[in-house]
Chain A
C-alpha cells in the first residue's frame, strides 16, 4: 500500500492508480494528456501562434501584392488565385520543422526520459505530437483560407471538392509529422532542428508553389514537377478550381494521384525510421 508513504508527505490524496482500463484506453488517454499539454503551450505563448502564422501571412501579402501584378500565370488566370493554394501547401510543408523542433526540445531536456520512466503508454509521446500538429495545421489552414478569401481568392470547385482539397493538405502534413519525428530524434538539439529551414526553403521553392514548372529551365522544371509539394499544390488547384498552369507533363497531369501517393510513400518510409529511432533510445 502506498498509504504510509503519502502519509509521510502529509498527503490526503489517494495515490492508488486508476482502474486498469487496458492498454488501448491508456494509449488514447495519454495521447490526449499530451495534446492538452501542447495546447496549453499555445495558451501560455500566444506570441508563438503569431510567429507560426506570421510567415505564411507575410508571404501571402508579399508575393500576392508585391510580385503578384508582375507575375503571369501560363494559360491565363489571376496570379493571386494561383498563389493561394501554393501558400496553403507551403505552410503544411514547413510544418515538419515544428514537429522536429518540439521533439528535439523534449529529448534534449530529458522530458522524454521522464515520460519513458513512467507507466504511461510510450506511443503517446509520438501520437500526442501528431494530433497536436494536425490540430495546429487545421487552425493554420483556417486562418490562411480566411485571409485568402479577404484578398479575393475563391474556391469554385464545389464544397465537396474544397473539402477534399483541405483533406489533401492535411494528408501531406500528416506524412511530414513522421519525417519531423524522425528528424527530431536524429538532430542533436532544437537549434539544429531550426536550421532544417535551410533545406526546407529551397525544396519548397523548387516546386509549383510560386511559379509554374513550365516557366523554369527544363531540368529544374522536371524536378519541380515531380516534387511532392507540387503534387499537392497542383491537385488542390484543380479541386479549388484555381488556375493550374499545367505544362502537360506526366506528374502534372496525374497530380491527384501523386498527391495521395507521395504522402503515402513518405509515411511508409518515415514511420519505420521514426519507430526504429525511438526504440533505439533504450539502446
Chain B
C-alpha cells in the first residue's frame, strides 16, 4: 500500500521549453523519515519540491503526498504539508509574531489559536525576544527560523525543506537541525534538499541523488558509501608541485585512477588491501623524499559518492542569506 510512503513520485515530468527540468523522476519517501534530495545545480531539486508542494502542474507522471494525488486534490495536499522554499518567504514589514499569526489565520486556525500557536513557535525557535520586532531587522538565521516556524504552524504531515540552511552559520544550522529532528520525532516526514552533504548525512536516513531531472541513486547513506567501494587511501602533501608524483605512486599501488583535489593538495583512491596499500605508499613516498602532511585510510564520504555519481563536486553555497547579518538592537 502507498500509505507506507508519505511522498511518492512516479516518473514525473516537467518541461520548460526544451529543457526537461524533471525527466521521469521517481521518488519514494517513507513515512516518518528524513529523506535527502541531492544533486548538482540545476538538477531539478527545486522543481521536484515545488511540484510535490502543488506549486507546479506536472506535464506527466503521478505524485501523491500522504496518499493524496497532488494534481487531482491539491487543496487537501496543502492542508497536509509545510514548505520552506529556497528564499525566506516572510513579510519584512510585520513583526515575527504578526507573521506567524497571519499565517496561522490563513491556515484557518482562527485568531485565538493562531495567536497561541504563534507564541509557542516563537518560543520553540528562540525568537521570543525578537518576536515583536520588525523582520527587516532580523539576521539571516533569525529570518530562516521564522520561515521554518511558519511552515510548521499546522505541524504538517509532510514538510518540504529546500536548502533550509543555505547561508546560515554553524549555530543557525544546528538550530534548524534540532527543529527538524523534533518535528520528525513527532511523526512528520521531511523531504530535504541541501548543498551540504554532511547535513544530509546527519539528518537523512535515506538519500536520492538526482541529475538532469532523474533519480540516479537511491539508498541509505551507508549503502551509498559502500557503492564507492571499500576504504580510501588519502595523502595530503606540503607542496602542490608534488601532487603528480604522489598521484603516480598511489595509482600504482592502488591499481586505480586516483582523484586529486589540487586546492587541498590531496590525492585519494579506493583500495582493497588496506594495510598493504598504506605501508607501500608510505614507504615509497619516504624513499622518494616527498614530504607528507597527512596520510591515512578513511571511509568514503557522501562527497565521494556524489563525485562518482555526478562527476561533480558539490558547491556549497557560500553566499550569505539575503538580508542583514546583524541582530536588531
Chain A residues positioned under 8 Å from B150 (CB to CB): 114
B90 touches A120 (CB 8 A): no
Name the residue of chain A whose CB is nearest to the CB of B87: A110
- Would you give the shortest CB distance from B73 to chain A, in whole angstroms? 11
CA distance A5 to B90 in the complex (A): 24
* B302 adjacent to chain A (CB < 8 Å): no
* B106 adjacent to chain A (CB < 8 Å): yes
* B120 adjacent to chain A (CB < 8 Å): yes
A17 touches B94 (CB 8 A): no
In-complex Cβ contact of B89 among A8, A12, A41, A113 (8 A): A113
In-complex Cβ contact of A119 among B78, B89, B121, B155 (8 A): B78
* B85 adjacent to chain A (CB < 8 Å): yes
Q: Mark A1-36, 1 if CB is under 8 A from B, else 0.
A: 010111111111111011000000010011001101
Chain A residues positioned under 8 Å from B113 (CB to CB): 13-15
* A116 adjacent to chain B (CB < 8 Å): yes
Q: Which residues of B contact A (CB under 8 A)?
A: 50, 53-57, 75, 78-79, 81-83, 85-95, 98, 102-103, 105-110, 113, 116-117, 120-121, 124, 134, 150-155, 157, 182-183, 185-188
B186 touches A111 (CB 8 A): no
- Would you give the shortest CB distance from A148 to chain B, in whole angstroms? 31
Centre residue among A5, A18, A113, A117 by max chain B CB count within 10 A: A117
A116 touches B54 (CB 8 A): yes
- Would you give the shortest CB distance from B99 to chain A, in whole angstroms? 9
A45 touches B93 (CB 8 A): yes
CA distance A29 to B57 in the complex (A): 26
Known contacts being A41-B94, A111-B89, A113-B89, is A2 close to B154, with CB within 8 Å? yes
B75 touches A37 (CB 8 A): no
Name the residue of chain A whose CB is nearest to the CB of B16: A283
Q: Mark A101-135, 1 if CB is under 8 A from B, else 0.
A: 00000000111011111111000100000000000
Add 18 more A-B contacts to A6-B186, A114-B85 (CB < 8 A). Answer: A5-B186, A7-B186, A9-B121, A9-B182, A10-B120, A10-B124, A11-B117, A11-B155, A15-B117, A15-B153, A18-B108, A37-B102, A40-B98, A109-B88, A113-B85, A119-B75, A119-B79, A282-B55
In-complex Cβ contact of A5 among B102, B109, B116, B155 (8 A): B155
CA distance A30 to B102 in the complex (A): 10
A120 touches B106 (CB 8 A): yes
CA distance A18 to B53 in the complex (A): 22
B94 touches A44 (CB 8 A): yes
CA distance A81 to B105 in the complex (A): 47
B106 touches A33 (CB 8 A): yes
Interface residues of A in 244-283 (CB under 8 A from B): 281-283
A114 touches B108 (CB 8 A): no
CA distance A15 to B87 in the complex (A): 26
Chain A residues positioned under 8 Å from B182 (CB to CB): 8-9
Known contacts being A10-B124, A11-B155, A44-B93, is A119 close to B108, with CB within 8 Å? yes
Chain A residues positioned under 8 Å from B87 (CB to CB): 109-110
Known contacts being A17-B108, A17-B109, A18-B108, is A116 close to B55, with CB within 8 Å? yes
CA distance A10 to B56 in the complex (A): 34
A9 touches B106 (CB 8 A): no
CA distance A11 to B118 in the complex (A): 11
Known contacts being A13-B113, A114-B150, A283-B57, is A109 close to B92, with CB within 8 Å? yes
- Would you give the shortest CB distance from B285 to chain A, in whole angstroms? 52
Chain B residues positioned under 8 Å from A116 (CB to CB): 54-55
Known contacts being A13-B120, A116-B54, A283-B56, is A4 close to B85, with CB within 8 Å? no
Known contacts being A9-B124, A109-B87, is A119 close to B94, with CB within 8 Å? no
Name the residue of chain A whose CB is nearest to the CB of B82: A117
Name the residue of chain A whose CB is nearest to the CB of B99: A37
In-complex Cβ contact of A118 among B86, B94, B106, B120 (8 A): B106
CA distance A6 to B117 in the complex (A): 10
Cβ contacts A to B, 9 pairs, < 8 Å: A6-B155, A7-B186, A8-B186, A9-B183, A15-B117, A36-B102, A40-B94, A44-B134, A110-B86
- Would you give the shortest CB distance from B102 to chain A, in whole angstroms? 5
CA distance A30 to B110 in the complex (A): 11
CA distance A26 to B109 in the complex (A): 12
In-complex Cβ contact of A110 among B89, B98, B106, B153 (8 A): B89
Chain A residues positioned under 8 Å from B134 (CB to CB): 44
A9 touches B79 (CB 8 A): no
- Would you give the shortest CB distance from B179 to chain A, in whole angstroms? 9
CA distance A113 to B88 in the complex (A): 11
CA distance A283 to B55 in the complex (A): 8
CA distance A110 to B85 in the complex (A): 7
CA distance A41 to B94 in the complex (A): 7
Centre residue among A12, A18, A119, A124 by max chain B CB count within 10 A: A119
Known contacts being A8-B183, A9-B155, A37-B102, is A117 close to B78, with CB within 8 Å? yes
Centre residue among A18, A34, A109, A118 by max chain B CB count within 10 A: A118
